[in-house]
């Protein structure tokens, strides 16, 4: 089985703010409030996770019932990581992209298990879960310190409700403080506890940035790599397109125009001596001229379909299916328009794939499905995605070769910031699936 996959460029991540930006009063207060909440909710969340894991492992031998609990455990981890990522990103304005669900890459139950396993070992998810665990521990400490602030404040006002010369319990322990010293000790203890709370909130910002946010160096390196791949894809796509145009002109239009010129030359020689033969030659040249115009029109459509701008991708693909040499079942459901680059990339993919199916696959029919999907449906994607799948019932065995049609497809999709996946086992069927960012 032949499978070719191009990696999608990761969504852009905003650079992490500086320490001064992280430690603003508003963010420190927000961190304190959130940590206090996590100190209460953390034990509940991890208790539920432990319950799901225990039930899953203990019930696994019983008709596989434990698989349902283990599945719940994996996606509960994902939900926890998703919430933690959103919380940290919102609190510190880090611009972290939300976690994305893993999608099934293979059919059947084995493909489902593979998808769940990839979800379970997702590094970004575990980083977010680790951040939640650390935040919950810090939140428990914050709750203890806030409780100390309350006790210390009460101790500072002890002379108002206790008689002179008596002693005051310190935080409910056996340690006592003389009433005349209670205000000073209470104030100092309250200030120390508040300082501890603020320090933990600042520490939380540092830890969150280190655990959840990728390092700036790695981020910038990934951005540079993605940019280089897209630029290289665009260059290769333009080279493949130029070669295709040259080939079509050399093999199609150019010989036909040469033939028209020779036919008209022969008609010119016969116009005086044999007018009937000259008329026949002119008629032949006229027919060849119309065929050349058709070839040029087809070539122009291959470069750019004007109907794509005028009426959208649905109409352009309908016209393409109508001109196909094999029957095409077209299923296009789009709620709106995408960018010109995205629509042009998908149109080119469908056009080239149908051409390959007609020429090489010996297919008797093809199916084209196009959808507009949200980012949550595409692994690692951001924003809306234009998704297309082209499948034929041919003999299979298709593969990407430099300079070939499939090479042009993958490079065009890569240049648009998308992904392409080809599956073509020997004996068929052949399917090509592409995802292109709608705003590319």
| Stated pTM of the model | 0.56
Are 166 and 257 within one domain? no
Given this model, what pLDDT does residue 187 score?
A: 87
Residue segments in the chain with a per-residue pLDDT below the cut of 70: 1-22, 63, 105-108, 161-178, 214-253, 291-292, 294-307, 309-310, 374-383, 401-405, 440
Q: How many domains does the chain have?
A: 2
- Classify residue 286: in a domain, yes or no: yes
Q: Tell me, yes or no, whether 198 and 60 share the same domain.
A: yes
Q: Given 212, 243, 258, which residue is the final one in a domain? A: 212
The DSSP output letter for 388 is: E
Q: Is residue 7 part of a domain?
A: no
CATH number of the domain residue 375 falls in: 3.30.565.10
pLDDT digits (tens, 9 = 90+) for 404-438: 667 777 777 877 778 888 888 888 788 888 888 88
| pLDDT tens, position by position, 195-238 | 999 999 999 988 888 888 764 445 556 556 656 665 665 566 56
Q: Does residue 2 form part of some domain?
A: no
Q: Is residue 258 part of a domain?
A: yes
- Range 1-4 contact pairs with CB under 8 angstroms and sequence separation of 24 or more: 1/423, 1/424, 1/425, 1/426, 2/396, 2/397, 2/398, 2/399, 2/422, 2/423, 2/424, 2/425, 3/421, 3/422, 3/423, 4/399, 4/400, 4/406, 4/410, 4/420, 4/421, 4/422
Domain match, 246 and 363 both: yes
Task: Determine the 3-state secondary structure of 339 from DSSP.
Answer: coil
- Containing domain of residue 391, as a range? 225-437
Q: Is residue 1 part of a domain?
A: no
**Closest by alpha carbon to 349, among 417, 428, 406?**
406
Is residue 218 a part of any domain in this protein? no
């Amino acid at each position: 089985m032949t499978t070719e996959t191009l990696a999608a460029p990761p969504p852009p991540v905003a650079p992490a703010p500086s320490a001064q930006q992280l430690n603003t009063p508003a963010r420190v207060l927000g961190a304190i409030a959130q940590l206090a909440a996590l100190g209460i909710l953390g034990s509940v969340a991890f208790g539920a996770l432990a319950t799901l894991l225990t039930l899953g492992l203990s019930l696994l031998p019983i008709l596989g019932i434990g698989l349902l609990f283990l599945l719940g455990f994996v996606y509960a981890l994902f939900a926890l990581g998703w919430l933690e990522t959103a919380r940290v990103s919102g609190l510190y304005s880090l611009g972290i992209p939300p976690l994305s669900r893993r999608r099934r890459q293979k059919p059947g139950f084995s493909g489902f298990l593979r998808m769940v396993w990839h979800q379970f070992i997702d590094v970004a998810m575990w980083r977010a879960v680790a951040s939640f665990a650390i935040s919950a521990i810090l939140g428990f400490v914050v709750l203890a310190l806030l409780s100390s602030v309350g006790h210390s404040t009460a101790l500072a006002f002890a002379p108002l409700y206790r008689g002179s010369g008596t002693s005051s319990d310190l935080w409910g322990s056996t340690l006592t403080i003389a009433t005349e010293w209670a205000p000073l000790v209470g104030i100092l203890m309250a200030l120390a506890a508040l300082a501890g709370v603020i320090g933990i909130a600042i520490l939380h910002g540092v830890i969150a940035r280190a655990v959840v946010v990728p390092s700036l160096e790695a981020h910038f390196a990934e951005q540079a790599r993605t940019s280089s791949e897209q630029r290289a894809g665009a260059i290769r796509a333009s080279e493949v397109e130029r070669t295709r145009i040259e080939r079509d002109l050399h093999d199609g239009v150019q010989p036909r125009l040469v033939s028209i010129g020779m036919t008209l030359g022969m008609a010119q020689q016969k116009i005086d001596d044999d007018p009937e033969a000259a008329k026949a030659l002119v008629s032949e040249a006229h027919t060849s001229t119309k065929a050349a115009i058709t070839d040029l029109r087809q070539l122009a459509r291959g470069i750019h379909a004007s109907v794509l701008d005028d009426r959208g991708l649905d109409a352009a693909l309908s016209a393409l299916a109508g001109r196909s040499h094999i029957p095409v079942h077209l299923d296009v459901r789009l709620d709106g328009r995408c960018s010109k680059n995205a629509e042009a990339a998908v149109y080119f993919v469908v056009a080239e794939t149908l051409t390959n199916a007609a020429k090489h696959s010996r297919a008797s029919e093809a199916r084209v499905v196009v959808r507009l999907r949200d980012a949550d449906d595409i692994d690692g994607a951001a924003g809306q995605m234009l998704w297309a799948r082209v499948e034929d019932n041919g003999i299979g065995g298709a593969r990407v070769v430099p300079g070939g049609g499939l090479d042009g497809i993958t490079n065009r999709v890569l240049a648009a910031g998308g992904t392409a996946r080809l599956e073509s086992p020997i004996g068929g069927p052949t399917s090509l699936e592409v995802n292109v960012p709608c705003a590319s």
